[in-house]
């Protein structure tokens, strides 16, 4: 028994933050951002009363509508996020409440930009064991809540968004393999330092801007290029997949140059790579399911798909799955 994705949906806030807007906020320019990252614009959740769970709940509602099932049928909700509404209760708790998933339990999983593939792998196990029939995996992040919009090295990169997939049992298709990694030394290069139990929030931590993302870009870039390319190549090798066998690469959208390096290492042509970084920037846990949502109409049952990510922690990995359904053309 395999766990197959049987529906996908996403939610993006309406407000757009363009490179031209950022030029007015920090010392940057459209040409630099496009050529170094591939990003043209990103979405921002401006409503101060809304948070990650609201975006996640919208994605889950659309997901259930598309699949034609009721929220009460959900067994489990796993939310990958680094921007939980609160330290507790978990975002999964809040989403379950907001969508009416009264028979579900759930939890959050923290693996930054690899969060979705870590959560997908984890959720699949509950289906493969035969215990559950419907598991919802959400990738959602309100990155604007942890960005310093005076820091040009980070504020140009990130955007807000959410997406969700439904996992159900399948005898033919679904998740086949995964290769996941963590390296805690990555905390020296990419982190949100304060606000946790090591550095609880104080006036000083806020004054020092330690409650927002800090990144030493170049070492992260080097580790990401190597980590994502190597793990994607490795998962092809151990599943005897030649480039012709792979229908799609779904890469985490952090930087177009990291995606290009992964594509080259896998020997794939550009048309097999899903790229929407220009529209949304890096939405952390939401990038991969948002790609699946944007490309859903082109996917066919039996397509071999590799999902690949690299993120803060460090965390990285790849998942190999076979797509389970043809989307009816509307
Ligand atoms: O998804 C989570 C994992 N994160 C990642 O995968 C991100 C990995 N890192 C990156 O994508 C890249 O390192 C960045 C996009 C963050 C930066 O690109 P880079 O090519 O590594 O640039 P850099 O940091 O080496 O900076 C080059 C120059 C510097 O100026 P000098 O020292 O050469 O005069 C920076 O100060 O670009 C300057 N710079 C900027 N200029 C205009 C840095 N940020 C900006 C900016 N606009 N926003």
- What's the pLDDT tens digit per position in 78-93? 999 999 999 999 999 9
> Ligand 1 pocket, 78 CB below 6 A?
no
Give the bridge partners for 321, in sequence order.
175, 305
Q: Which residues, including other chains, have CB under 8 Å from residue 193's CB and lie 6 or more apart?
A: 199, 205, 210, 211, 214
Q: What would the mean pLDDT of 259-273 be, rounded to a whole number? A: 97
- What's the pLDDT tens digit per position in 12-61? 999 999 999 999 999 999 999 999 999 999 999 999 999 999 999 999 99
Whether the per-residue pLDDT at 330 is higher than 90: the answer is no
Question: Ligand 1, closest atom to CA 252?
Answer: 1
Mutate to test the pocket of ligand 1, among 22, 31, 36 (most ligand atoms within 8 A of CB): 36
Whether the per-residue pLDDT at 208 is higher than 70: the answer is yes
Cα 229 to ligand 1 centroid, rounded to whole Å: 20
> Ligand 1 pocket, 304 CB below 6 A?
no
For the full predicted model, state whether its pTM sits above 0.85: yes
User: pLDDT averaged over the chain?
Assistant: 97
> Ligand 1 pocket, 39 CB below 6 A?
no
> Ligand 1 pocket, 312 CB below 6 A?
yes
Question: Which residue numbers are catalytic?
Answer: 113, 252, 282
Whether the per-residue pLDDT at 329 is higher than 60: the answer is no
- What's the pLDDT tens digit per position in 87-116? 999 999 999 999 999 999 999 999 999 999
Instruction: Place 327 in a pLDDT band, splitting at 50, 70 and 90.
Output: confident
> Ligand 1 pocket, 32 CB below 6 A?
yes
Percentage of the chain surpassing pLDDT 70?
99
Mutate to test the pocket of ligand 1, among 153, 158, 254, 316 (most ligand atoms within 8 A of CB): 153
Cα 277 to ligand 1 centroid, rounded to whole Å: 16
Mutate to test the pocket of ligand 1, among 81, 157, 217, 262 (most ligand atoms within 8 A of CB): 217
């Amino acid at each position: 028994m395999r766990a197959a994705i049987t529906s996908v949906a996403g939610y993006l806030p309406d407000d757009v933050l363009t490179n031209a807007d950022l030029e007015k906020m920090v010392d940057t320019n459209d040409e630099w951002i496009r050529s170094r990252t591939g990003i043209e614009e990103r979405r921002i959740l401006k409503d101060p009363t809304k948070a990650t769970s609201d975006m996640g709940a919208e994605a889950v509602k659309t997901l259930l509508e598309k699949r034609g099932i009721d929220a009460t049928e959900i067994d489990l909700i796993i939310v990958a996020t680094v921007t939980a509404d609160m330290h507790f209760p978990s975002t999964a708790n809040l989403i379950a409440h907001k969508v009416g998933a009264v028979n579900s339990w759930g939890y959050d999983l923290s693996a930054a930009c690899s969060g979705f593939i870590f959560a997908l792998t984890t959720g699949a196990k509950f289906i493969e064991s035969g215990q559950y029939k419907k598991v919802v995996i959400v990738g959602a992040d309100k990155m604007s809540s942890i960005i310093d919009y005076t820091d040009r090295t980070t504020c140009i990169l990130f955007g807000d968004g959410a997406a969700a997939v439904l996992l159900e049992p399948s005898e033919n298709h679904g998740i086949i393999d995964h290769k996941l990694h963590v390296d805690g030394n990555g905390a020296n290069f990419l982190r949100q330092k304060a606000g946790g139990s090591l550095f609880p929030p104080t006036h000083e931590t806020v004054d020092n801007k330690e409650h927002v993302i800090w990144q030493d870009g170049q070492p992260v870039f080097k580790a990401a290029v190597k980590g994502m390319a190597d793990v994607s190549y490795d998962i092809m090798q151990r599943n005897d997949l030649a480039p012709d066998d792979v229908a799609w690469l779904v890469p985490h959208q952090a930087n177009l140059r990291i995606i290009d390096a992964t594509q080259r290492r896998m020997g794939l042509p550009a048309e097999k790579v899903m790229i929407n970084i220009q529209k949304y920037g890096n939405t952390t846990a939401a990038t991969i399911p948002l790609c699946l949502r944007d490309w859903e109409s082109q996917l066919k049952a039996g397509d071999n798909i590799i999902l690949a990510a690299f993120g803060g922690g460090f965390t990285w990995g790849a998942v190999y799955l076979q797509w389970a359904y043809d989307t009816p053309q509307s």
